[in-house]
Amino acid sequence: MTAKEQLLQEIQHSPEPLIKEVLDFLLFAKSRNYPHSAEAKAISRLPDQDDPTKWITSIGEDEQVDEKALNAWLEKKGYQKANV
Residues 14-69 have pLDDT tens digits of: 999 999 999 888 888 877 776 666 777 777 777 877 877 776 666 778 888 888 88
Return the pLDDT at 63.
85
Return the pLDDT at 49.
77
In whole angstroms, give the CA distance from residue 3 to residue 26. Answer: 14
Q: CA of 14: how far to CAs of 3, 5, 64, 71, 76, in Å?
A: 16, 14, 47, 48, 50
Return the pLDDT at 59.
73
Report pTM: 0.40
